[in-house]
Amino acid sequence: MLSKRREKCLEAIRQSGLDGVLYALGPNFQYLSESHHCLWQRNAMNTFAPISGASIMPEALIYVNKEGKSTILTIPKHKDTMNTLLNDVVVSYMDQFEDELTHIIDGKNIGIGKDCDQWIKETLSHIDETITTVDTDTLFEDIRRIKDEYEIAHMRKLAQFTDEAVMYVCKHLKPGMTMFEAERMIVDYGLQHGIQDLSFSPTCGFKTRNTANAQEIEPFENERKLVDGTMIAFDIGYMDQGYCSDWGRTVYYGKAPELVKNGYHALQEAQVYMVSKIIPGVTRFGDLYGYICDKAEELGYYQYLRFKREEEGGNGHHIGTETHEMPWLKNNVDLILQPGMIFCSEPKMFFKNEGYMRVEDMILVTEDGAEFLTNFPRDLFEIDFSKNL
């Protein structure tokens, strides 16, 4: 029996006039196969750069034809992580993949993604020179935006885990430790709890007031030591069972200047206000940052926002099988928020000579509004290292 997800994907395949789709071990593979325990190769940060590894041989492939037959071809090390209820699984070795595909591919017009696409194109041409390939890397983009019950439950759990991981770090920060050592705690916490991977390289960005380091937002300095008067801007994400988290907060070591402390509370208020304004089926993605700007302006902190209303920076992105799923939350995006969407809102402020702050939440659109999946304490800012939190 086909899952609702597979039924929607099949309809997209048929409407595109394809005979089938063939994807290597990446986000589309994970989404189509529903093999949640398989450690697939995500494209987390490749929004900003060409896809790497396009010509390498894949460790697994999934072929789904327009009739709904699904076959996974995999090397032995992945076989036990594949969903055998929805897919036939063929186990072989990489060097045998071309011959195996000869008996799996049953169409002439095949959709493919960016992962290993050069190898896939060359291999299909060897199998049958009349096969044509079509770029369908974004074929299921609209479907993937609306999360099903499994996705929502798992991403809620992963968001909570990320909250807990950063709280652990906050409780174990020590004067004199480096930014790298703080980031290593994020890595170790995931490893100790059996999380498969990171969504992206973690940042515990140290900015110390009245230093050259605090003159600009970037770069951060990996070996900078934690001292009194340091703001720490967290940007953290984990990947587990096929899905990603993305999370941000800022804490301050010591007693923060009132301007900075009140600025952080204003940023939090703006985030909460934005979520309160969401009306499913009505609110545009392009409306969201305007609400944050409105509240920041009301509270007297608009000038400190990293991006102003008219600027291109935007306010975040969708999230799911990849950290950055489309669309970005930019002013010109007219897409309407719908129940089941999960997006990240990440407003930022910068106080020259003081530091950089961010708030980033994973937010679920519900039937009658929206809710935060990340619930790290919004009033936690100043940290006194002489006491336990």
User: pLDDT (tens digit, 9 = 90+) per residue, 224-269?
Assistant: 999 999 999 999 999 999 999 999 999 999 999 999 999 999 999 9
180: in domain:
yes
**Domain match, 155 and 98 both:** no
What percentage of the chain reaches a pLDDT higher than 70? 94
* CATH (domain of 86): 3.40.350.10
**At 62, phi and psi to the nearest 5?**
-125, 135
User: Which among 173, 348, 305, 346 is positioned nearest to 252, based on CA atoms?
Assistant: 173
Cα dihedral sign for 362, 252, 311, 297?
Answer: positive
Q: What is the CA radius of gyration of the chain?
A: 23
113 and 196 together in one domain: no
Q: Residue 63: which of 15, 123, 4 has the closest Cα? A: 123
The tens digit of pLDDT for each residue in 54-99 reads 568 999 999 999 999 999 999 999 999 999 999 999 999 999 999 9
What is the residue range of 152's domain?
Answer: 146-383
Tokens of 375: 């619930």
pTM for the full predicted model? 0.93
Q: What is the pLDDT of residue 55?
A: 61
| pLDDT(311) > 80 | no
- 48 pLDDT more than 60: no
- Are residue 238 and residue 252 in the same domain, yes or no? yes
**DSSP conformation letters of 167-214:** HHHHHH--TT-BHHHHHHHHHHHHHHTT--EESS--EEEEEETTSGGG
How high is the pLDDT of residue 313? 66
Q: What mean pLDDT value characterizes the chain?
A: 93
In a domain, residue 388? The reply is no
C-alpha to C-alpha distance for 89 and 127, rounded to whole angstroms: 20
Whether residues 99 and 166 fall in one domain: no
* SS3 category, 57: coil
